[in-house]
Amino acid sequence: MQTALEDMQRDIAGPLSVAAVSTAKYFLPQLLGNFKRRYPGVEPRLQITNREVVLARIADNADDIYVMGQPPREDTVIAEPFLENIIVFVAPSDKAIVVANAASLSAGISMFAGFNLVFYRNDGVTFGMLGGAPWWSLIALALAICIWLGVMLFRAENAVEALAYGAIIGGALGNVIDRVRYRAVTDFLDFYIGTTHWPAFNMADVFVVGGVGLLLAAPWISARRPIKS
């Protein structure tokens, strides 16, 4: 039996080219290191890059294996999940510590029934919409919207509208800062009922959605406020 296993290990040899999205850098090198120790004849070659480059390499058939959170839907590839959630990590208040220790924090923290703290890089906008779009295009879109909202802020007819516009602008700019630094925004709030999870989000999203809700309610709130003579 031992001889057969040793023969099998000798048969598995040669270069292994792997391309992965940036979030994989927190766990994939360790996995490849363990694989290398088990099969010393294999020579892993790892390239960490962004999603757009990985998709281009898939189209060019440039590598043996690709690791990403959202695989393409083409019939020419076969996607096999190998971790329960490869980009969900614990998220205490200091996000820099989370990033530095993400590989050991992959399980997340259950705060109470219905709420987890997680760590997720969202390359889309609020609640994961427009995922996969170029990061710079989302920054340009957010800044354009902020400029327009800034004009609306100065034209606001009452304090409620001004507060709503300010909340939306503040939340949008908070996500822009994350996107400039990480090419994605950092989501860490995970609410769920049973096995159904609402898309993870962050406090910037809370300000954006809260601001939109306040803006919609502004006419009703203003109408109920007493008019000073």
Measure Cα distances from 165 to 46, 143, 177, 207 in Å. 45, 14, 18, 10
Half-sphere exposure of 127 (CA within 13 A, CB side): 8
Active site residue 205: yes
- Count CB neighbours of 193 within 10 A: 9
Question: Measured at the alpha carbon of residue 51, what is the angle toward residues 101 and 105, in degrees to the nearest 5?
Answer: 15
Q: Mark out the alpha helices in 112-202 (DSSP H runs).
A: 135-154, 159-182
Name the token pair of 60. 């060019």
Identify the active-site residue in 63, 178, 187, 190: 187
Measure Cα distances from 223 to 78, 153, 160 in Å. 58, 19, 11
Q: Which amino acid is residue 154, in one-letter code?
A: F
Q: Which of 135, 124, 137, 113 lies closest to 190, judged by CA?
A: 113
In this structure, the strands spanning 65-67 and 109-112 are unpaired
Residues taking part in catalysis: 187, 205
